[in-house]
Amino acid sequence: MELTQRQRIIFKKVVEQFTYCAEPVGSKALMQLLDFPISSATIRNEMAVLEKAGLLEKTHTSSGRVPSRFGYRYYVENLMETSLEDPIKHSLQALFSQRHYSLDEVVEKSCSILSEMTNLTSIVLGPDSRHQVLVHVQLVPIDAKSAVALIITDTGHTETKVFHFDEDVSMEDLRSCTELMNDQLTGTPIDHVIDRLKEIEPLMAAKLVRHEVLFEAFAQTFMRFASEKVAVAGRCHMLYQPEFSDVNKLQRLMKILEDSDLFKQWTEQENNIAIPVGERNELIQIGDCSVISAKFHYSDSEEGQLMVIGPNRMQYSKVIALMDYMSSVIEGVFGLHEGGEKSDEQTEKES
C-alpha cells in the first residue's frame, strides 16, 4: 500500500513519540505534535488506515496506537532520517585520537561508549584471528625486564604485546627466542600455536636461560590472540525498558548476552528478519527485540562489528547514525578510509 504524504507524517510522528514515551499514542496527542491543522477525527481515521495496513497496532489498555514490527521496518526503510550532531562527532574524534589504541582497547572503549550514548546494551566483536596463520614473530627489547613482541599473520594482522618480566632477560635470550619461534612456529594456524608451543618447550629449555619466563609470556599472548575478541556493556540498561518488565524474559535475555554461542544462535534463528540499512548497517528483528549492527574494518581483509541490542522501540535514527560514524572513526584509528582501504599516510608509516 502506498501511503499519502499526510499518512506518512502521522505514522512517523507515532513512531517517534512512542520511541520517547513508551506509551500508546492517541489522536489528541498527535494534534499537538503535528505542524499543520487537522482534527482529532481525521487523525483517528488516518490511524485506522495505518492499522489496516499493518503499520500500527491498537493496545488493549488504551485507545492509542503503537507501531507494529512491520511498522518499524517500514519506518527504517522509508522514513528514517539519520544525522549526528557536530558536538558528538567532535567528542568521538577526540576520544579516539588521544593516543594509539590496540585492537583490544578499541573493542572495549567503543563498546562502553555505545552503551553510554544509547542507554542500551552494546556488543562489539573484534576480528576473529583464530583461523589466521602465523607468519612472523619479532621481539624488541625495551630494557632488561621488558620487551615488545610483534606477531604478524598471513592476513597482515599485527598484534603488539608488551612483556614485563619478573626477572632480567638477556639480549641473547630474546634473539634466540625470536629465531626459535620463527623457525618452529611459522605457518602454524593461530588456534594451534599453543599446542605447538608446548611441543617446542624442551627446545626452549635447551636454548634459553630464562625459557620459563619467555614461554609463559608467549603462551598467554597467543591464548589471548586466538580467543574471540568480544566486549559487552550496559546489560543493566535492559532493566529500565518496559518491554522487559517480565523477569523470566529478562533472565533469558541476560543469559543470551553472557554466552557468545547462545547469542550467535539467537541472532541467526530462521524466523528473524534482517533489514540492510545502507552499506554498513543491518537491523535484525528478533521477537520484541532489535539488534542493530555496523561493520568496521581493522585491516584490508579483517572486519569487526558494533552491535546495539534493545527493544523494537528504540531511537533507530540516533543509534544508526552513531554506529555508522563510530565505525568510520574506528577505521581512522587504524589508518583506513571508509571501506577498509589504508590511507596513504598509514601505508607510508608501515613501509
* Residue range of the domain that includes 220: 134-226
pTM to 2 decimal places: 0.72
Q: Which helix (H) or strand (E) holds 152?
A: strand 146-153
Together in a domain, 172 and 219 = yes
The three three-digit cell numbers of residue 336, written as one number: 583506513
**Smallest Cα–Cα separation from 315: which of 292, 296, 295?**
292
Structural domain total, the chain: 3
Mean predicted confidence (pLDDT) in 133-157: 87
pLDDT in tens, 94-110: 888 866 777 778 888 89
Q: Which of the 8 DSSP states describes residue 336?
A: B
Which CATH number fits the domain that encloses residue 310?
Answer: 3.30.450.40
Together in a domain, 183 and 273 = no
| pLDDT for res 223 | 77
Q: Which of the 8 DSSP states describes residue 277?
A: E
Last residue of a domain, which of 226, 260, 287?
226
Q: Sign (positive/negative) of CA torsion 197, 198, 200, 206?
A: positive
Together in a domain, 197 and 263 = no
| pLDDT for res 99 | 62
pLDDT in tens, 317-344: 999 999 999 999 988 887 765 544 554 4
Together in a domain, 336 and 240 = yes
Together in a domain, 242 and 262 = yes
292 DSSP β-pair partners: 283, 308
The three three-digit cell numbers of residue 132, written as one number: 589466521
**Smallest Cα–Cα separation from 18: which of 266, 311, 277?**
311
Together in a domain, 93 and 43 = no
Separation of alpha carbons 310 and 114, rounded Å:
12
> What are the backbone angles phi and psi of residue 280, rounded to the nearest 5°?
-110, -30
Rg, C-alpha atoms of the chain: 26
Which single residue is written with the C-alpha cell 576480528?
Answer: 127
Separation of alpha carbons 316 and 283, rounded Å:
9
Together in a domain, 114 and 237 = yes
Separation of alpha carbons 56 and 45, rounded Å:
13
**Smallest Cα–Cα separation from 82: which of 252, 327, 276, 324?**
324
Q: Is 155 helix (H, G, I), strand (E, B) or coil?
A: coil
Separation of alpha carbons 139 and 213, rounded Å:
14
Separation of alpha carbons 176 and 154, rounded Å:
23
Q: Which helix (H) or strand (E) holds 108?
A: helix 103-118
126 compared with 253, residue with greater pLDDT? 253
CB proximity list for 123: less than 8 A, separation 6 or greater: 111, 230, 231, 232, 257, 263, 305, 307, 308, 309
**Smallest Cα–Cα separation from 70: which of 299, 275, 223?**
275
pLDDT in tens, 193-251: 889 999 999 999 999 998 999 999 888 888 777 666 678 899 888 888 888 888 888 88
Backbone dihedral region for residue 22 (phi beyond 0: left; psi -120 to 50: alpha; all else: beta): left
pLDDT in tens, 173-182: 999 999 999 9
Together in a domain, 219 and 261 = no
Which CATH number fits the domain that encloses residue 14?
Answer: 1.10.10.10
CB proximity list for 41: less than 8 A, separation 6 or greater: 27
Q: Is 291 helix (H, G, I), strand (E, B) or coil?
A: strand
| pLDDT for res 89 | 92
Separation of alpha carbons 38 and 304, rounded Å:
48
Separation of alpha carbons 241 and 284, rounded Å:
19
Together in a domain, 122 and 235 = yes
Together in a domain, 123 and 237 = yes
Instruction: Provide, rounded to the nearest whole percent, the portion of the chain with pLDDT above 70.
Output: 91
